[in-house]
Structure 1
Amino acid sequence: MVEASARPRHYTTPPALVRRYTGDLSVESQRVRAQAGPIIADLLPPRPERPSLVASAGGPVTRILFTIPAYAVDSPPLAAAYQDLLAKLPAQTRFLVLTHESAAETVGGWSDRIDVVAGPDHINFSVWAEDGYVVVVDAGTTYFVEPFSFPRYGDSLVADLVANADPALERTQAPLYFQGGNLLIGDDFFLIGADYPANTLRYVGGILVPEPGERPADLVRRLYGEYLDPDRRLIYVGSSLPVPEQRTRRFTLDGAEWTEVLYAGNQPGTTQPVFHIDMLVTLAGRGDDGRYRVLVGDPRAAAEVLGTPTPAHAMPEVFDDIAAGLARQGFDVVRNPLPLVYVDDPDRRERWWYFATANNALVSDGVVYLPTYGHGAWPELAATDEANGRIWTGLGYEVVYLTDFHPFAENLGSVHCIKKYLARA
């Protein structure tokens, strides 16, 4: 459905804040990289003997990492979102913040709980602290585990910069393809979006060599466990239905021809309706019946709250299929409103569709921190903000509402994407 009038940004964003998936590996570059595997395999750092992933939900978060580049510090809407979040997180949480040298003094003044790591101004790291690694603990040591390749901006250097500055942190590497935002870690399981095991299959024969008689898919599953967490059950998340890839189409608005971008970030052959599962799935702990609860976003539920038709390109049937798959795995699945919205650029006559996701939230010790979207050009989304809050209250959580996250969401991320859990009590 095309609206009769434009909805331009009610905020300004810096040019350096580009889409979250920009710079990710293409299929061809993955294939070339895999062929180089045997040459550099001996150069990989040693891995933890018994890694245990830091959970996405559970006990109190005691330490958390943010990567806040200078462009975010200088951007009023981005800086306001960070300052609001830091002020609302619990008093026992320490913040480790990688920022640029030119912004270090400013960021250090945002909270007396911040430990600042000042990186060179010429390193172009992003706000997406979640993605370039996963965090595991082994024998009292915390490790950043990096994928075999992560070319996005200068984010592949974040673990090096932070670990070099903090003696309590180490880094290692796994010969696998993954990004932190496509993993969610529960108490005795962890979820991975199915696209990344599929990408890792391209490493077989190059980086990875199966044992005699071992199928490539079994090799990939085994190695995810060995390198990330052998004690948690690995569950893939994806849809068996066809998922549309990103495309553009023309439409007319106020007598002028415009272009709109649909299915943002979706690559050919994807099994995921959004390119990272943390945009559509939230872990919510175990209920009274012992089953683990997961929230799965529902575009239809959002449309019902807003009193509007469900956009055809909201892919509701794909989200339904993912929810059904998680239910078959034994989860208690709760559906929550996931609005599909857009931002308009009148100068370029371009409309960009994205999900105003409350699934991309922070969960800590009975408290959930929800991004909000009922602001500016989208005041009606206050209704879906509140509907999501009521769901969490019904699950026994205290709800803390955060400020406007449209500037992040239109770039395919939200609050869960701009942090990395380093430790829980």
Structure 2
Amino acid sequence: MTAPIPPAVATHIPVAAPALVADCGGLIGQIALAVPTAFFQSADVFGGCRPLVPIGNLIRAFPAELEVCLLVDDTAVRLANNWIASLDSLCSLRLAVLDSSAGVVPGPWIQDMFHVRTASARHTGFDHACDMQFVLVPGNPVGRCLADFLAVAVAELSLDLPGGNQLVGGDFRLIGHSDLQRASPVDTSSCNPLRMLDPRPVSVFGYRLHSGPASADTAFSRLHQYGFHVDQFVSLTGLHQEGRPLLLVGEPHLAEQGSILVDNARMLLDASVALLVEQGFAVIRNPVPFVVAPDSGKRLPRLYNNVIVENAVREGRSKPMVWLPQFADAEPLANDDARNCMLWEELGFDVVPVPGWSHLASRNGALRCASKVLKRIMDQDPCKLNFHG
């Protein structure tokens, strides 16, 4: 049985502009999704899995005041429009079309394809009326297409940092060691691409092979990272406990029998949690089952940490919302679905369960991977943010 969770308080500390759109905080006003043309094919092509199901469920789960920008290839416009018409969604939806001469939509994981920054209108780096800016690796057709569609500014930066391996808090960034190591983190100059991307201080998601006291090189030379991306196993809550930013970190388990794979995952994530605590984070663990994927036959984690979070309260609701992936519609995971929902409810959130993510489990992603928040409406009203008070 898990110990009672002490009260936590949501905070937001303004960051000097331009800065990345955070993964927590205010209400989401606009979000981008992407559907590759192959997803419109028959389920037979995907071993019986239907990858459009979870994406459609996510669109249906969004409230009416949220706008979705859906990116598709120009060869799939008719198929996309037919599918959109079948969703009966509440949110407004705009279709952005990628011209085949520029490229193709490579997959559903739009989180990894570009970065989004905001700045005050008076900031000299923004010459568009909109305060949004896309940061792209040169030659990125997806980001360029969406930027043109939305008429927002573009900045090119030679930094190969997928969005899935970075979580952005109000006053910090948590970056997976595998990408942090490639980005020359020891360079503290203003020319360092990491600092050019965003001014927030950087913490590392990783683990030590051998235990020992923290040192100056902890984050760089003697660490490793479990998993592909930090957002597979870590969720930002936008809350604080005892002055520390509160994270949810997955705790692997295997119900039916022991497994070296799961035991190893648990050990490495335990070590990763130890390093997070050393860096000043508070951590709560949530159950993450390792289950054989329906199509690939591989035993993989179900990514309950891959969430979308708000910390302000929408009109007509009493709590902030979190969109949480669910798997029990296709797999015997009702207990894990319920336990993860209950954990977020105990933290004070209105949980929006989004089923269907078993259909994309073999691709190692869920609903944060499949989305990119473009706009957050930051709400500084403490009465709306301190929902334990």
Which bin holds the TM-score, normalised by the shorter protein? 0.7 to 0.9
Q: Percent identity?
A: 28
The answer as to 2:102 corresponding to 1:118 is no
Q: Name the CA distance, whole Å, in 2 between partners of 1:344 and 1:295.
A: 26
Asked whether the equivalents of residues 177 and 197 of structure 1 are also in contact (C-alpha less than 8 Å), the reply is: no
2:268 alignment partner, one of 308, 312, 318: 318
**Cα distance in structure 1, aligned partners of 2:94 and 2:362:** 29
1:158 match: 142
Q: CA deviation at 1:419?
A: 0.6
Report the CA distance shift for 1:177/1:227 in structure 2 as closer, same or farther (over 3 A): same
Cα distance in 1, alignment partners of residues 190 and 224 from structure 2: 17
Aligned partner of 1:68 in structure 2 is: 35
Quick check: 2:293–2:361 contact (8 Å CA) kept in 1?
no
Question: CA shift at 1:325, angstroms?
Answer: 1.1
Instruction: Answer yes or no: is 1:367 the counterpart of 2:321.
Output: yes
Distance 1:364 1:56 in 2: 8
Please name the residue that 2:340 is paired with. 388
1:170-319 counterparts in 2 under 5 A? 170-201=153-184, 217-219=186-188, 223-230=192-199, 232-241=200-209, 271-287=224-240, 289-299=242-252, 302-303=253-254, 306=255, 308-309=257-258, 311-313=260-262, 314-319=264-269
Q: Which amino acid aligns with 1:87?
A: R
- Separation in 2, partners of 1:221, 1:358: 36
Structural RMSD (CA): 2.5
Q: State which of 22, 39, 45 in structure 2 corresponds to 1:55.
A: 22
Question: TM-score scaled by structure 1?
Answer: 0.69
| CA shift for structure 1 position 62 | 0.4
CA distance in 1: counterparts of 2:189 and 2:164, whole angstroms: 19
Equivalent position amino acid for 1:337 in 2? P
TM-score by length of 2: 0.75
How do residues 319-338 of structure 1 correspond to structure 2 at under 5 angstroms? Answer: 319-338=269-288
2:360 to 405, 408, 422: 408
What is the CA distance between 1:192 and its match in structure 2?
0.9
Displacement after TM superposition at 1:310 (Å) = 5.0
Q: 1:384 & 1:222 partners in 2: Cα distance?
A: 45
Pick from 329, 345, 351 the counterpart of residue 399 of structure 1. 351
Partner in structure 1 of residue 70 of structure 2:
97
Partner of 2:371: 419
**Any gaps of 5 or more consecutive residues in structure 1?**
1-48, 150-155, 202-215, 243-268
8 Å contact from structure 2 (residues 69, 94) kept in 1: yes
2:82 to 85, 106, 112: 106
- The answer as to whether partners of 2:293 and 2:358 remain within 8 angstroms in 1 is no
Contact residue 232 and residue 303 of structure 2 kept, 8 A: yes
What is the count of residue pairs matched by the alignment?
319
Is the CA contact (8 Å cut-off) linking 2:33 and 2:110 kept in structure 1? Answer: yes
* 1:272-325 Cα distance to aligned partner (Å, 9 max, x none): 2111000010001224634311001111xx34xx36435444421110011111
Matched, 1:129 2:106: no
Does the Cα contact within 8 Å between 1:130 and 1:416 map onto a contact in 2? Answer: yes
Offset, 1:147: 3.7
